[in-house]
Amino acid sequence: MKIGSLAIWPPLFLAPMAGLTHSALRTTLLGYGGVGLLSTEMLSAARLPVENAQLSPYLLRTAEESPLSYQLLLAEEQHVPAAFAALHRLRADAIDLNLGCPAPQVRRLGGGSRLMEEPERVRRLVACARKKTTLPLTAKIRLGETFDGDRLRNFCQMLASEGVDMLTVHARLRGEPFTRRPHWSWVAKVKNWVDIPVVANGGIDSVASARACLAQSGADGLMIGRAA
């Protein structure tokens, strides 16, 4: 699987999870094998440029943790230049934009799933981000507030047209809890709408559920979160 210039194998991705996707978990998973792309947890674009990579638990990384995607909580264009410069200094292998986090505190800051309600603002953010890096640029989204195919299609196609190299779709609506069964068939819709790789996320906790997700979604890869 190719994301921009980055080759990924196997097409299994570690999900960014707040408080969990740190160096200790990543290195533990590497001992088992089977992860094609590792991830940091969500990083604040506003704070990232002043964080100490030698001390911050969010940024600690061993040489073995590669390839590693850095997920960015980005809500304002003004934070793009310094945040992306910091990610280049940190030798990120890919950069992921968080467009799906439903946490109230994240939404109050104008980030995460709140951004899906403002597609033109997201367009400007992605265009600005794309100009600042040649690294693979990805985005993680949810299905939206409600099942609205036209709105979701337009949003996904906009992301692809502005230079996003891969989409990860958490197959739940913004307000649906993790206990709600994911809607993998909607990932198949996204897959048909865009010409970039699409990764399915949500409810993948066993070999059986992974097979079921791939069968229903036709996704290019799977992102595993809590089950990791």
Cβ neighbours of residue 144 under 8 Å, at least 6 residues apart? 116, 151, 152, 155, 173, 174
**H/E element, 162:** none
Task: Please report, as a single letter, which amino acid is at residue 75.
Answer: A
Beta strands in 49-197 (DSSP E): 68-73, 94-99, 137-141, 166-170
Residues 160 and 94: their CA atoms lie apart, in Å, by 16
Residues 14 and 209: their CA atoms lie apart, in Å, by 16
Torsion sign (Cα): 28, 51, 105, 135: negative
213 is a catalytic site residue: no
- Which listed residue (101, 128, 156, 213) is catalytic? 101
Retrieve residue 80's tokens. 């793009």
Answer for the pair 9, 28: CB distance below 8 angstroms, yes or no: no
Active centre residues (catalytic): 101
